[in-house]
């Protein structure tokens, strides 16, 4: 499709996040949100060609034809990037919620055949079209909250056929920019007795096929004591890297099990959860390019500790926030809830939360050159809200977003 030039004019306030981008998402202060009053954006072919105050539009652009959009009354900010979800699944796990309420732990439920394995049963049985239709509704729900880029993991198939089925479903989803992650190493499939044997099979037969068919951009492993232990996964991660996959890890969620340090050692895009970490791991993370992806909705549901976000940010780590949306430990897609928990229970400031859901999350996906801030050369992915920016991540259940543009195209208007 041929794009016309687009001129989005005169927003009351634009948050460009350009300061956050200059600092690589580290030690974010309010001024790093890049406030611009009477801000305007010129787009060509879905990309930002110019951004500035309306009165400063360069003559060369004044002369060009464009479709104009009046953003008066709007606050504009980069589209949200949701960088950690398990949005393709069948069934639900509401019964486990009640079990946990009655005192059973996540690990105990998993050992009894519940947890991830109960979703695996449902996904293996599910028809492709049913999986796709359900997942598309979830994608739409993210989109309505201003999400413009969404990461989705596999990991509920745990055999070649069903993992490929999940990844193929992810490829068919639309409406936002989607990136897929292969999480075959999510849990031990019932057909296996040994984690090592399963990891060896994943490395030898799954990864080359997934690469060949271009079904995933990254590889993830659920690293935890009693699940995939950090010493056992090095070989597998090396195979993934050799094949050209980026790496991300579920790390140190329930116990200090080496995941965060392994993530840094493998130059992973991100280490996710990072709850049970000490000063050494925090410092190592802060000195690296690996982003700490914090998932406080899962901590709320599991009634476990929240990650030491304050310490990580003060040490200089780049931090992102995400829902971890999944049917077991985080059955919510609510971005406001995630941001609110970060503010209430992790002592993050609002500018830090906004950065963590835009630039920080884009960086966690290594997509910061494409999205996450509003700068020349990047995709025109942005949100318009009639609210003041100070009202973001404040009211759970509120509908904050009035319009979402992805590559300059109106994606959702409420």
Which residues form the interface with Zn ion (CB under 5 A)? 324
The full length of the chain comes to 414
Cα separation values, 216 from 33, 55, 56, 90, 232, Å? 32, 44, 43, 20, 22
**Residue 94, helix vs strand vs coil:** helix
- Cβ count near 414 (within 10 Å): 9
Nearer to Zn ion, 51 or 275 (CB): 275
CA nearest 120: which of 157, 92, 170, 168?
157
Nearest CB to Zn ion, comparing residues 324 and 352: 324
Question: Which residue's beta carbon is nearest to the bound Zn ion?
Answer: 324
Nearer to Zn ion, 149 or 326 (CB): 326
- For the bound state, the minimum distance from the C-beta of residue 39 to Zn ion, rounded and expressed in Å, comes to 36
Q: Choose between 151 and 324: whose C-beta lies nearer to Zn ion.
A: 324
- Selection from 389, 300, 396 nearest residue 339 by Cα: 396
CA separation, residue 254 to residues 24, 185, 338, 399 (Å):
29, 17, 19, 33
Nearer to Zn ion, 46 or 189 (CB): 189
User: For Zn ion, which is the closer residue by CB, 299 or 368?
Assistant: 299
Whole-number Å distance between alpha carbons of 202 and 30: 45
- Min separation Cβ 105 and Zn ion, Å: 17
Please check whether residue 407 is in contact with residue 379, taking contact to mean a CB–CB distance below 8 angstroms: yes
Q: How far is the CB of 369 from Zn ion (least distance, A)?
A: 25
Q: Shortest approach of Zn ion to residue 308 CB, angstroms?
A: 19
In angstroms, give the least distance from the CB of 188 to Zn ion: 17
Q: Which is nearer to Zn ion, 87 or 358 (CB)?
A: 87
Least separation, in Å, of the C-beta of 10 and Zn ion?
Answer: 41
CB within 8 Å of 284: residues ≥ 6 apart: 260, 261, 264
Q: Give min distance, CB of 325 to Zn ion, in A.
A: 9
Nearer to Zn ion, 17 or 246 (CB): 246
Which residues pair with residue 42 across a beta bridge? 7, 50
Backbone angles phi, psi at 100, to 5 degrees: -65, -40
Distances (CA, A) of 195 to 183, 189, 223, 235, 266: 14, 9, 11, 12, 20
CA 172 to chain CA mean position, Å: 18
Backbone φ and ψ for 390, nearest 5 degrees, come out as -70, -15
CB of 295 to Zn ion, least distance (A): 7
Residue closer to Zn ion (CB basis): 224 or 402: 224
Question: Is there a contact between 151 and 181 (Cβ–Cβ < 8 Å)?
Answer: yes
Min CB(223)–Zn ion separation in Å: 11
Question: What span, in angstroms and rounded, lies between the C-alpha atoms of 279 and 381?
Answer: 36
H/E stretch holding 8 reads strand 6-15
Strand partners, 330: 326
* Residue 121 beta carbon to Zn ion: minimum distance, rounded to whole angstroms: 19
Task: Report how far residue 55's alpha carbon sits from residue 57's, in angstroms, rounded to the nearest whole number.
Answer: 6
**Closer Cβ to Zn ion, 324 or 400, answer by number:** 324
């Amino acid at each position: 499709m041929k794009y016309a030039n687009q001129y989005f004019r005169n927003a009351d306030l634009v948050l460009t996040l350009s300061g956050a981008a200059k600092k690589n998402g580290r030690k974010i202060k309010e001024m790093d949100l890049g406030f611009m009053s009477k801000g305007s954006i010129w787009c060509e072919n879905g990309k930002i060609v110019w951004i500035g105050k309306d009165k400063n539009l360069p003559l060369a652009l004044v002369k060009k034809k464009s479709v104009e959009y009046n953003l008066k009354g709007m606050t504009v900010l980069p589209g949200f990037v949701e960088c950690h979800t398990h949005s393709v699944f069948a069934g639900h796990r509401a019964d486990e919620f009640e079990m946990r309420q009655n005192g059973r732990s996540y690990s105990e439920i998993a050992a009894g055949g519940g947890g991830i394995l109960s979703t695996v049963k449902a996904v293996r049985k599910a028809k492709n079209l049913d999986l796709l239709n359900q997942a598309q509704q979830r994608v739409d729900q993210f989109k309505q909250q201003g999400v413009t880029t969404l990461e989705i993991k596999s990991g509920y198939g745990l055999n070649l056929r069903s993992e490929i089925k999940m990844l193929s479903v992810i490829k068919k989803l639309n409406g936002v920019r989607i990136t897929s992650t292969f999480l075959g190493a999510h849990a031990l499939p019932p057909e296996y007795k040994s984690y090592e044997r399963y990891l060896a099979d994943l490395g030898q037969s799954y990864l080359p096929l997934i690469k060949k068919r271009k079904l995933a951009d990254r590889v993830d492993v659920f690293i935890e004591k009693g699940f995939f232990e950090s010493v056992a996964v090095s070989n597998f991660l090396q195979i993934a890297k050799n094949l050209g996959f980026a790496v991300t890890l579920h790390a140190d969620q329930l116990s200090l099990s080496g995941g965060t340090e392994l993530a840094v050692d493998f130059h992973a895009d991100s280490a996710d959860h990072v709850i049970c970490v000490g000063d050494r791991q925090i410092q190592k993370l802060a000195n690296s390019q690996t982003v700490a992806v914090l998932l406080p909705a899962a901590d709320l549901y599991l009634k476990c500790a929240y990650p030491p976000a304050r310490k990580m940010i003060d040490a200089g780590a780049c931090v992102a926030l995400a829902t971890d949306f999944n049917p077991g430990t985080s059955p919510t897609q609510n971005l406001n809830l995630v941001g609110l928990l970060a503010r209430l229970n992790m002592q993050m400031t609002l500018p830090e939360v906004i950065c963590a859901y835009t630039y920080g999350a884009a960086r966690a996906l290594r997509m910061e050159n494409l999205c996450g801030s509003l700068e020349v050369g990047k995709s025109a992915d942005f949100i318009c809200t009639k609210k003041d920016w100070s009202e973001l991540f404040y009211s759970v259940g509120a509908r904050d977003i009035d319009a979402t543009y992805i590559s300059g195209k109106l994606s959702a208007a409420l």
